[in-house]
A and B are shown apart, each in its own frame.
Chain A
Amino acid sequence: GAVVSQHPSWVICKSGTSVKIECRSLDFQATTMFWYRQFPKQSLMLMATSNEGSKATYEQGVEKDKFLINHASLTLSTLTVTSAHPEDSSFYICSASHSGRALYEQFFGPGTRLTVL
């Protein structure tokens, strides 16, 4: 149990286009989902926390208008990178917490590699 999927696993897009990444909890309900990005040889940096049915909470320095997060159901959250630029190229990872469990009990998706040309 506690499987989290991401789609797509990798994507290449042109500069200026928008890309949507989906994160799904396959066998549990996730009240809270998290979005991270990881640069090579760097830590996982939390971008935002999303709670089902409410607006996401963004970390300092993360542009909410650029990284749109929607958490419309207990099993699906989406991250849309709008007007992507080469500096947005990164590995994006989502995680999910069971409803009613501690937020540190996170189950991670396999990640999405975004390359912006």
Chain B
Amino acid sequence: DQQVKQNSPSLSVQEGRISILNCDYTNSMFDYFLWYKKYPAEGPTFLISISSIKDKNEDGRFTVFLNKSAKHLSLHIVPSQPGDSAVYFCAASAGANSKLTFGKGITLSVRP
């Protein structure tokens, strides 16, 4: 049973436009959420995170929104750049001493 779901396997956007990557979760114990960016044959790199006590966190071009009632979060990238093309993983944790549970990832392609 997949507790973190990224239902869209891929997304293609034009350079300069907004990229919206979605993530849903089923475990109500999750209270911390992270987004990672991954290039092929490399490990994930941390992008941005959000605690369940917030509904928005912003860092430069990246903003993560959390809707706890819907068990849904999204990553917005504005403006999208070709260098943003990568696989993006959503991950969740049920506390400071809990492991991370990852989604399957979504491949973002930003067209020049």
Contacts and interface: CB of A to CB of B under 8 A. Distances in A.
A63 to B, nearest CB: 19
Best-surrounded residue of B43, B46, B91, B102 (most CB of chain A within 10 A): B43
Contacts, number: 60
Q: Is the interface of A mostly helix, strand, loop or mixed?
A: strand
B103 to A, nearest CB: 6
B47 interface: no
Given A41-B9, A102-B96, A103-B93, A4 B104 contact: no
Nearest to A59: B99
B43 A95 contact: yes
Contacts of A42: 104
A32 to B, nearest CB: 10
Interface string B76-102: 000000000000010101001111111
A108 B42 CA distance: 9
B44 interface: yes
Interface of B: 2, 4, 9, 32, 34, 36, 41-46, 49, 89, 91, 93, 96-105
Interface of A: 4, 6, 9, 34, 41-46, 49, 91, 93, 95, 102-104, 106-111, 113
8 contacts: A43-B2, A43-B105, A44-B89, A44-B102, A95-B43, A104-B91, A107-B46, A110-B42
